[in-house]
Structure 1
Amino acid sequence: MGVAIRRAGESDREYVVGLLDAAFMQDPVSSWVLPGDEYRLRTHGALMGAFFDIALDEGYVDITEDGAAVAMWWSVPAGGHGDDGVHEGEAEGAEDGPVLLRRAVDPDNERVELIGRLTDAIHPTDRPHQYLHLIAVHPDRQGEGLGTALVSAVLDRCDREGLHAYLEASNARSRDLYTRLGFAFMGAALDLPDGPRMWPMWREPRTAGADG
């Protein structure tokens, strides 16, 4: 039986942000960006909310019909969004994405801006692609293949339309899962300063009749 998936909208914001907040509260990258349990409890939801807003503006959010899993994608054109995350066509002198993210989450936390700059620096810009930014599955529904179904639905479209895909795996387990879905480690990991490692991964579209 297939997994029913729909496109989330602004009306889903509170629910999706809550699911992402719970799923990533103890994630190594979230713990590095927002150090300290009490501080992270206060601010993590704002970070997830900012990511949701960017996804609606720059891409899309897919959610299973039962609300058990969600995947956040950004559609990145060739050339990315200009230097330091500034979109093509923005006015000269406009503040860039990492600065705006820091302001939205916590202006006093430089790591909110730094994570944006570091991931921007390793993000491929030579070809348009679908960027899997975040994916979360409700704790009670782990192991049912919901996350794989969400990702595979987009990857099937990438294969049909000749689109590339990109992500940063934040742990070895997810890296191995994405490898099975056709992603390949790009060769240079991102080691956050005094923090965890992230693995940038790229996927070429599969042509009809390709193995796997």
Structure 2
Amino acid sequence: MTSIRSATEGELPAAARVLAEAFECYPWTRWAIPADGYSRRLLELQSLYLSYALDEGVVLVDEQLGGVIALLPPTAAPPSEEFQERVAQLHGDRLTVVGEVRLPPSPEGYWTLETLGVRPDRQGAGLGGALVRAGLDIASKSTLHGVALETSDERNVRLYERVGFAVTAVTTIDRGPVVYSMVCEGTEKP
């Protein structure tokens, strides 16, 4: 049985490294982040997003820090101007094309599963599914609505479908990846 718990601030650097490893070949990040300094930019972006998620939402890890998930509630405050400026700098010359992407908006009142990553040597053993189920459990305690996400890796679609998500839209980005928008409907609270 995998033990999933809330991450601490001190664990964020290790959690960001897990995400950077997991996203090294991910279609969206490969398209959205410049090749020049890609790994450094990816790690810093993951660090920024995890810090924001820890402040505004939920970051969960397993005991061995082999996987991490971050979710934001619909009430999350927008990121600071400094945060947004740094993200823009890290996207460099890709910022314009990333900014032009039009994906369907998440349903009103839904949590968003912002990121999920498992170290490559731990993938395929059920850790990703355990992290998602733990995140869904937390989200279900605060809303009747569900959780929305986007993924640009078709293998992830199957993982998310196994835990209750369904594809709601497929967006093909010109000279970019295919993005799957997915939703897991909430259940009534007792």
Q: 1:49-96: per-residue Cα shift (whole Å, max 9, x none)?
A: 12112212221210001111111111123xx86xxxx57xxxxxx859
- In the alignment, what sits opposite 1:34? 33
2:88 aligned to which of 58, 80, 102: 102
The 1-side partners of 2:161 and 2:81 are apart by 36
Alignment TM-score, normalising by the size of structure 1 = 0.76
Change (3 A) 1:47 1:109: farther
Looking at CA atoms only, which structure, 1 or 2, has the larger radius of gyration?
1
Change (3 A) 1:110 1:95: farther
Q: How many residues end up aligned between the 2 structures?
A: 188
CA contact (8 A) 2:48 2:83 kept: no
Map 1:166-185 onto structure 2 (within 5 A). 166-185=148-167
Letter of the 1:61 partner, please give it: V
CA contact (8 A) 2:7 2:59 kept: yes
Letter of the 2:62 partner, please give it: T
CA contact (8 A) 1:98 1:116 kept: no
The 2-side partners of 1:135 and 1:166 are apart by 13
CA contact (8 A) 2:33 2:94 kept: no
Change (3 A) 1:154 1:44: closer
- In the alignment, what sits opposite 2:105? 123
Shift in Å at residue 18 of structure 1?
1.0
The higher-RCO structure (CA 8 Å, 6+ apart) is 2
Q: 1:160-203: per-residue Cα shift (whole Å, max 9, x none)?
A: 5524101102121211221222112113x233341101111111
- In the alignment, what sits opposite 2:179? 198
Alignment TM-score, normalising by the size of structure 2 = 0.84
The RMSD of aligned alpha carbons is: 2.7
- Ranges in structure 1 where 5+ consecutive residues have no aligned partner: 88-93
Q: Secondary structure at the match of 1:123?
A: coil
Change (3 A) 1:96 1:168: farther
- In the alignment, what sits opposite 1:153? 134
- Ranges in structure 2 where 5+ consecutive residues have no aligned partner: none
